[in-house]
Chains A and B, each alone.
Chain A
Amino acid sequence: MSGTFLGMPAFPRNAEKALLNSQLRFNLRNATHTIRARRAAVVDELPDWERLRAAGKAIKDDALRNLDRYLVQAEEAVTRAGGHVHWAADAAEAGRLVADLVRATGETEVVKVKSMATQEIGLNEILRDAGIVAAETDLAELIVQLGDDLPSHILVPAIHRNRAEIREIFRERMADWGRPAPPDLTDDPAALAEAARRHLRERFLTAEVGISGANFLIAETGTLVVLESEGNGRMCLTLPRTLISVVGIEKVLPTWRDLEVFLQLLPRSSTGERMNPYTSTWTGAAEGQEFHLILLDNGRTNALADEIGRQALRCIRCSACLNVCPVYERVGGHAYGSVYPGPIGAILTPLLRGTATDLDASLPYASSLCGACYDVCPVAIDIPEVLVHLRAKGPHPPAERLGMKAVGWTLNRPARLRLAQRAASRLRRLVPRRRLPGPGAAWTDTRDVPAVPEESFRAWWRRTEGREGGAR
């Protein structure tokens, strides 16, 4: 596993491969069940959770409805506070902007706060091609980077790795990036964290340029907000002389007061904590610092134009939907072929990228529509609704289309259904219980087929009730 998400095959093939990895399934099951239980417990503590959730949804909807106005307001506020604002239509433009800004400083090394937006645009690769080394400072992101791996979870990018694997990665790769791991490193979590801390400290103290994303951008004041657990983000935001933040345009909140709602919703939904350990806010440029804000579209205005799909832009990337998703739990994040895995990835990725590739077209089907994601989402995104909507929009294989049309035709007249049922009951002995042909083979790989009854309900009713009783 390395480098990039591009060129991944379709979801069912990825999933099948992932299912064979029993270590992965074990790691994921443990991790998601632990965090799931923690979230449920702290959400249950709040009697007004549903009202908070409704407030979060309403604030985000207002922000999205008036996005143009709020973004301009934010731009003015940031500029007034001494920052520079840039607009990027897509990944390439955003990457170019960042690379140019870094080059202008004369530096070839930057430190990064964990950020979904920069992963989404493949910033590390863009910078690498420009001769700039971008070092991740979030512990889980560091594990992914050292392991030449891809993130597989929004909040815990290395969720698919266990302690023993992390120890190996540290021992083999840390030296390539700076301070090596101690030779006697064990897989004790405290020892691993200590090794990472020492390794990262050297990076912080030498870096002149920091790159971040943001959880929120407050239009009223131009303030950016980052929530994190380790404090590494805070170091990246304050130590370097130049700070560049890449922020999706949907991150806007209208006012400072709105933040209160999200500072409750986000930590409880994501880490299962009552309060977030480190919350950093900054407005424009600090003394002696240069600050650039890059506002990223990259498909977001396309998503906004989709009346049912646009609710996906309310997402605050808490990852609660991943942690409850039975599909994600079994296949992990890589199968989704995007930095946004799980239920939100299954809708957000095709909304942002379209459904031109095999993989993106298969994502809306990567769900059993069980609804668990909708129940936990702190901003009430009706993910099943968007999945079904995207399925209606997306391309359909010709054979399936034909079959669905034929079934629809049969079901559209009771007389046709009756005929089909009669034919099925005549041929009932010919239906194999263990080996169906064609697409049915996917069913009989692991499941027996129910026996076709001699008489349908409809035929029974006719036989025993005659034609009275609501016949029409």
Chain B
Amino acid sequence: MRVGLFVTCVNDTLFPETGKAVVTLLRRLGCAVEFPEGQTCCGQMHVNTGYRDEGLRLARRFLEVFAGYDAVVVPSGSCAAMVREQYPKLAAGMGAARPGAFAGAHRGRTRFAEAVAAVTPRVYDLSEFLVDVLGRTDVGAYFPHRVTYHPTCHSLRGLRVGDRPTRLLRAVRGLELVPLPAADECCGFGGTFAVKNAAVSAAMCADKVAGVEATGAEVLCAADNSCLMHIGGTLSRLRTGVRVMHLAEILAATEEDR
């Protein structure tokens, strides 16, 4: 099975350890992982902020780069949801938005729609790939810490990953999983929302952080570094001492790492 890693632009640039952890983990489980270097970004930030054309250009690139893979693994719920949930909508909307377009545009549209249909069903968030494709919940990890898990909106309501991440965490040796109060409430990141409506975003995060602190956990885990950058940035500013970690990094940890 050819597995392509879509590391995402944020992880690539700011959180390379997450990408390394995915590579380590998948290799340990017997997968041949490739990182196609033509990849950059799924286009989510552009599309969600209202820059559809720029987003579409990036989407085209993504579809081209990942066309040949049996599975594409994404260590980010929101980027995986962008590809799987929003690309088909973009394809449908292309027909709607420009009714009088010329024939070339029509062909471009059809090609995009076909590429979306071909690639997106094989795009998986990390926990989906581990549980559904590899059939593993115990990935042989060891992480002797008290951990709480924030499900993130796009994993929860976009991808509907359900309890896959917590099943994976429960199987980690040494790990004590404590439930997060109001876990399914948004942390207030929302991409450019965090800057455009900074005050509301901060108020939402304050409640999320209060919930994290109430658990007494040492580590807050999620499957999306964007949300973690926001919550972690607040935890750090408040000097709570709680660390944030991507799910992949916990699942990649073993006894040898000690």
Give A residues with C-beta under 8 Å from B. Answer: 11-12, 15-16, 19, 25, 307-308, 326-327, 330-331, 364-372, 374-375, 385, 388-389, 391-394, 396, 400-401, 404-405, 407-408, 411-414, 417, 420-421, 424, 434, 439-440, 442-443, 445-450, 452-453, 455-458, 460-462, 465, 469-472
User: Is the beta-carbon distance between A445 and B198 smaller than 8 angstroms?
Assistant: yes
| A410 closest partner in B (C-beta) | B40
User: Is the beta-carbon distance between B195 and A408 smaller than 8 angstroms?
Assistant: no
User: Is the beta-carbon distance between A389 and B93 smaller than 8 angstroms?
Assistant: yes
* Assembly CA distance A133 to B33 (angstroms): 73
Of the candidates B46, B153, B204, B237, the one whose C-beta lies within 8 Å of that of A448 is: B237
Of the candidates A16, A25, A326, A470, the one whose C-beta lies within 8 Å of that of B34 is: A470
User: Is the beta-carbon distance between A391 and B20 smaller than 8 angstroms?
Assistant: no
Most buried by B among A12, A396, A434: A12
B60 CB → nearest A CB, Å: 10
Show 30 residue pairs from A and B whose CB-CB distance is below 8 angstroms, ordered by the A residue.
A12-B196, A12-B198, A15-B199, A19-B199, A326-B204, A330-B200, A330-B203, A331-B200, A365-B193, A367-B190, A368-B189, A369-B191, A370-B157, A372-B186, A392-B51, A396-B51, A404-B46, A404-B51, A405-B54, A412-B58, A413-B40, A443-B195, A443-B233, A446-B198, A446-B206, A447-B202, A450-B232, A457-B11, A472-B37, A472-B65
| A368 closest partner in B (C-beta) | B190
Please judge, given known A-B contacts A439-B195, A456-B12, whether A369 and B37 are in contact too, CB under 8 Å. Answer: no
B157 CB → nearest A CB, Å: 4
Residues of chain B within 8 A of A457, CB atoms compared: 7, 11-13, 16, 19-20, 35
Most buried by A among B11, B39, B191, B201: B201
B227 CB → nearest A CB, Å: 10
Residues of chain B within 8 A of A465, CB atoms compared: 35
* Assembly CA distance A420 to B196 (angstroms): 24
Please judge, given known A-B contacts A368-B190, A388-B50, whether A408 and B58 are in contact too, CB under 8 Å. Answer: yes
* Assembly CA distance A404 to B45 (angstroms): 9
Residues of chain A within 8 A of B192, CB atoms compared: 365
* Assembly CA distance A364 to B193 (angstroms): 11
User: Is the beta-carbon distance between A460 and B51 smaller than 8 angstroms?
Assistant: no
Please judge, given known A-B contacts A450-B15, A469-B35, whether A392 and B199 are in contact too, CB under 8 Å. Answer: no
B63 CB → nearest A CB, Å: 14
Please judge, given known A-B contacts A450-B233, A465-B35, whether A326 and B188 are in contact too, CB under 8 Å. Answer: yes
| B37 closest partner in A (C-beta) | A471
User: Is the beta-carbon distance between A447 and B57 smaller than 8 angstroms?
Assistant: no
User: Is the beta-carbon distance between B49 and A391 smaller than 8 angstroms?
Assistant: yes
Residues of chain B within 8 A of A400, CB atoms compared: 49
* Assembly CA distance A392 to B97 (angstroms): 11
User: Is the beta-carbon distance between A469 and B34 smaller than 8 angstroms?
Assistant: yes
Of the candidates B202, B229, B236, the one whose C-beta lies within 8 Å of that of A445 is: B202
User: Is the beta-carbon distance between A421 and B189 smaller than 8 angstroms?
Assistant: no
User: Is the beta-carbon distance between B205 and A446 smaller than 8 angstroms?
Assistant: yes
Sort A-B residue pairs by CB-CB distance and give the 8 closest, nearest first.
A368-B190, A391-B50, A447-B233, A470-B34, A370-B186, A408-B54, A442-B198, A457-B16
Any A CB within 8 A of the CB of B96: yes
Residues of chain B within 8 A of A401, CB atoms compared: 51
Any A CB within 8 A of the CB of B173: no
User: Is the beta-carbon distance between B204 and A368 smaller than 8 angstroms?
Assistant: yes
Residues of chain A within 8 A of B188, CB atoms compared: 326, 368
User: Is the beta-carbon distance between A447 and B234 smaller than 8 angstroms?
Assistant: yes
Q: B158-201: contact bitstring with A at CB < 8 Å (1 yes, 0 no)?
A: 10000000000000000000000000011011111111111111
Any A CB within 8 A of the CB of B9: yes
Q: In the complex, which residues 26-57 of chain B have their Cβ closer than 8 Å to any Cβ of chain A?
A: 33-41, 45-52, 54, 57
Of the candidates A19, A326, A392, A453, the one whose C-beta lies within 8 Å of that of B14 is: A453
Any A CB within 8 A of the CB of B111: no
Any A CB within 8 A of the CB of B89: yes
* Assembly CA distance A393 to B45 (angstroms): 16
* Assembly CA distance A447 to B58 (angstroms): 29
| A25 closest partner in B (C-beta) | B203
Residues of chain B within 8 A of A424, CB atoms compared: 13
